Structure 1
Amino acid sequence: MAAIPPVCDFGLKAPDFHLKGTDGLIHGLDDLKGPKGTVIAFICNHCPYVQAILDSLIQDARDLAGIGVTTIAICSNDAASHPEDGFEQMAELARRKEFPFAYLHDESQEVARHYGAICTPDFFGYNARLELQYRGRLDASGKAGKPGAKRELVLAMREVALTGEGPREQTPSIGCSIKWKNAA
């Protein structure tokens, strides 16, 4: 079932975390954050919404890195109910797709809860002070990841990198709900 996150809560500070990455290392927010901004994307392997936009996300992360904005991806899904979202499968996807960003495993789901993540994909764009400035979709294609669609995340994060503030009009992402442990 599709889930839609709430609108941006401008200025909300990014919660800190320390999570295991698909490279086998533990990564913290302060270690990964970008000098001009940071995108935190809650994604997973199995979600058709993520699969549809994954190549665009990879390209956008590369483009944003060129302006000092780092992308971090986090998978918080319950791997017991969705084994394709397990750590080994995450590492395989990151290798196969040559992710230009850290792909982190939130096994306890505490990070997703602290961020208020709702779905996959769910994008949080922060300025250099780690204040929330964007909570929207990747692009104007919505869930399809169509080439040529207006690159809303990239445009917003360029604005954040230049001014420290995101656009006031944002369209929420849509995706599969996060698969919570012990969900009824």
Structure 2
Amino acid sequence: MDIDNESIEFAFYFMLLSPNVAYVSCELINCRENLIYSYGDLENIFYLNYYSVINSYKEVYSSVAEPIKGEKILSERLSSRGGTFVKIYTQSKRFVCKGHMENNANYCVSLKLDDLQQVSLIKDNEQVALMEVIEDGVSIRGMRNCKVSFVDYENGLVTIESNIKLG
């Protein structure tokens, strides 16, 4: 797996098993050894799991300050009732910025993006895993299995075209 790829989404599980041991599972971790724990830790494991569940709605335990702040801000922005946002997930990057649709055809969408810095990172003919336009918190257009067919870096215009054309 390419660690530098910011576009891939994957599940991440973390469960505290004892004061010294945690279960961590995600695609970035490759472990071939079995987990070993003492039967004396079973009571501690039970209570730590129990309190983790009870506190899960108000407490997050992490070595990173505010680990879910970025996801919360993104979620609030995308579900807000003011404006249009465009999500473009290429094979290696994620772009989320204000913008709107200039043209909406069956197999092609032209977008005007406000953030020219993000537009400068989009490559012509780059494959796109997901493109979605969200207006007032509602998804109004989406495409998968497509590519960037045109980029105007000066004006922020991006055209995305489907790889699959039926009919």
- Same topology, TM > 0.5: no
- Looking at CA atoms only, which structure, 1 or 2, has the larger radius of gyration? 2
**Range class of TM-score, shorter chain:** under 0.3
Structure having the higher strand fraction is: 2
Structure having the higher helix fraction is: 1
The TM-score with structure 2 as length reference comes to 0.21
Question: Which structure exhibits the higher relative contact order, with contacts defined as CA atoms closer than 8 Å and separated by 6 or more residues?
Answer: 1
The TM-score with structure 1 as length reference comes to 0.20
